[in-house]
Amino acid sequence: MARDLFAELKFRDPARARALAEAIRRNVAAIGRPVSVMHVCGSHEQAIARFGLRAVLPEGLQLIMGPGCPVCVTDGPEVDEAVALAAQGVRVCTYGDMLRLPGTARSLADAKADGGKVEVVYSVSQAVELAEKHPGDEVVFLGSGFETTAVATAAIALAPAPRNFSILSVHKYVPAAMEVVASIETTNIEGYIAAGHAAIITGFGIFEPFAARTGCPVVVAGFEPLDILAAIAKLTELMRDERPEVFNAYPRCVSREGNLPAQQTLWKVFRPVTGKWRGIAEVKDGNLDLRPEWAAIDARRRFAIDTAAVRDADAEEEAKGCICGSIMLGLAVPTDCPLYQRTCVPDSPVGACMVSSEGQCRIWHTYGGTPDLRRVGT
Partner 1 sequence: MCLGVPGKVLAIDGLNATVDFFGVKKELRLDIVDEPVKVGDYVLNHVGFAIRRIPPEEVKETLALFDQILEITGAKEDLMAADVRGEIAAGKDKP
**DSSP tally for the chain: helices H, then strands E:** 15, 11
Query: Can you tell me the distance from the alpha carbon of 362 to that of 97, in angstroms, rounded to the nearest whole number?
Result: 11
Q: Work out whether 26 is an interface residue with partner 1 (CB under 8 A).
A: yes
Radius of gyration of the chain (CA): 21
Please give the single-letter amino acid code of residue 248. Answer: N
Among 74, 104, 107, 144, binds partner 1 (CB under 8 A): 144
Instruction: Mention every residue, 6+ apart, whose C-beta is less than 8 A from residue 195.
Output: 39, 40, 41, 43, 44, 68, 146, 148, 174, 220
Phi first, then psi: what are they for 216, rounded to 5°?
A: -105, 125
Q: Work out whether 275 is an interface residue with partner 1 (CB under 8 A).
A: no
The CB-of-325 to partner 1 minimum distance in angstroms stands at 20
Among 36, 88, 125, 370, binds partner 1 (CB under 8 A): 125
Query: Can you tell me the distance from the alpha carbon of 150 to that of 144, in angstroms, rounded to the nearest whole number?
Result: 7
The CB-of-15 to partner 1 minimum distance in angstroms stands at 6
Q: Work out whether 169 is an interface residue with partner 1 (CB under 8 A).
A: no
Q: Work out whether 160 is an interface residue with partner 1 (CB under 8 A).
A: no
- Residue 97 or 110 with smaller CB distance to partner 1: 97
Site for partner 1 in 47-106 (CB under 8 A): 70-71, 95-98
Q: Work out whether 5 is an interface residue with partner 1 (CB under 8 A).
A: yes
CB atoms within 10 A of CB 3: 7
- Residue 88 or 126 with smaller CB distance to partner 1: 126
Q: Work out whether 123 is an interface residue with partner 1 (CB under 8 A).
A: yes
Q: Work out whether 319 is an interface residue with partner 1 (CB under 8 A).
A: no
The CB-of-343 to partner 1 minimum distance in angstroms stands at 26
The CB-of-188 to partner 1 minimum distance in angstroms stands at 24
Please give the single-letter amino acid code of residue 240. Answer: R
Q: Work out whether 122 is an interface residue with partner 1 (CB under 8 A).
A: yes
Beta strand 270-276 with 282-290: parallel, antiparallel or unpaired? antiparallel
Strands, E, within the chain: which ranges? 35-39, 61-65, 91-94, 118-120, 139-145, 165-172, 189-195, 218-221, 246-248, 270-276, 282-290
Site for partner 1 in 200-259 (CB under 8 A): 200-201, 222-223, 226-227, 230, 233-234, 237, 249-253, 259
Element (H, E) at 230: helix 225-240
The CB-of-243 to partner 1 minimum distance in angstroms stands at 12
Confirm if 298 and 166 have CB atoms less than 8 A apart: yes
Site residues, partner 1 (CB under 8 A)? 1-3, 5-6, 9-10, 15-16, 18-20, 22-23, 26-27, 41-43, 70-71, 95-98, 122-126, 144-146, 148-149, 151-152, 154-155, 158-159, 196-197, 200-201, 222-223, 226-227, 230, 233-234, 237, 249-253, 259-262, 265, 356-358
